[in-house]
């Protein structure tokens, strides 16, 4: 199980970094004075452990959906903005009985007051590792 989670984390990090590289603007890549590349740039977390605060943010972002439906697996990275954007790998179990759980990158905005807002969900398609042009 640990090997599967490690592979999923590595895949999720690669996917999120490639998506962020496509969306990055030249201004976001330029370090701000005295801040290194913190302001506006994504930073991978050194410890992907999900804290109670992260669990609360995910729950709030999803409007209190049951804890079994959206399970945070790992915190992959953060971005300093007017607040903080957080990328969390989540296991999502849809409500319908015949659907299969899946993993997704969940992007959450944490405002300066500590409130959470769901920004985006990107489902991980584990069967499609390369696009059609690369074989």
pLDDT of residue 113: 92
Whether 74 has a pLDDT exceeding 70, the answer reads yes
The dihedral sign for the CA sequence 47, 51, 55, 61: negative
- Does 118 have pLDDT greater than 50? yes
Domains defined along the chain, listed by start:
2-134 (3.10.450)
pTM summary value:
0.65
| Predicted pLDDT at 94 | 83
Q: Mean pLDDT, to the nearest integer, of 57-70?
A: 85
Mean pLDDT of 8-36: 45
In 3D, which of 51, 69, 47, 70 has the Cα closest to residue 110?
Answer: 51
Cα–Cα dist 102/46, whole Å: 24
pLDDT level of residue 20 (50, 70, 90 thresholds) = very low
Q: Is the pLDDT of residue 13 over 60?
A: no
9-17 average pLDDT score: 53
Q: Is 2 helix (H, G, I), strand (E, B) or coil?
A: helix
CA distance 43 to 83: 14
Confidence of residue 34 (pLDDT cuts 50, 70, 90): very low
Answer whether residue 45 shows pLDDT above 80: yes
Q: What is the pLDDT of residue 39?
A: 57
């Amino acid at each position: 199980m640990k090997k599967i989670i490690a592979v999923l984390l590595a895949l999720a990090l690669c996917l999120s970094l490639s998506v962020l590289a496509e969306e990055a603007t030249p201004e976001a890549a330029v370090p701000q004075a005295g801040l290194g590349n913190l302001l506006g740039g994504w930073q991978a977390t050194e410890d992907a452990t999900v804290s109670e605060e992260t669990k609360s943010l995910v729950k709030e972002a999803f409007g209190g959906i049951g804890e079994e439906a959206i399970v945070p697996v790992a915190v992959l990275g953060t971005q300093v903005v007017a607040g903080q954007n957080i990328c969390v790998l989540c296991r999502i179990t849809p409500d319908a009985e015949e659907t299969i759980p899946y993993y997704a990158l969940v992007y959450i905005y944490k405002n300066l007051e500590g409130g959470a807002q769901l920004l985006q969900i990107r489902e991980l398609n584990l069967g499609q590792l390369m696009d059609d042009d690369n074989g």
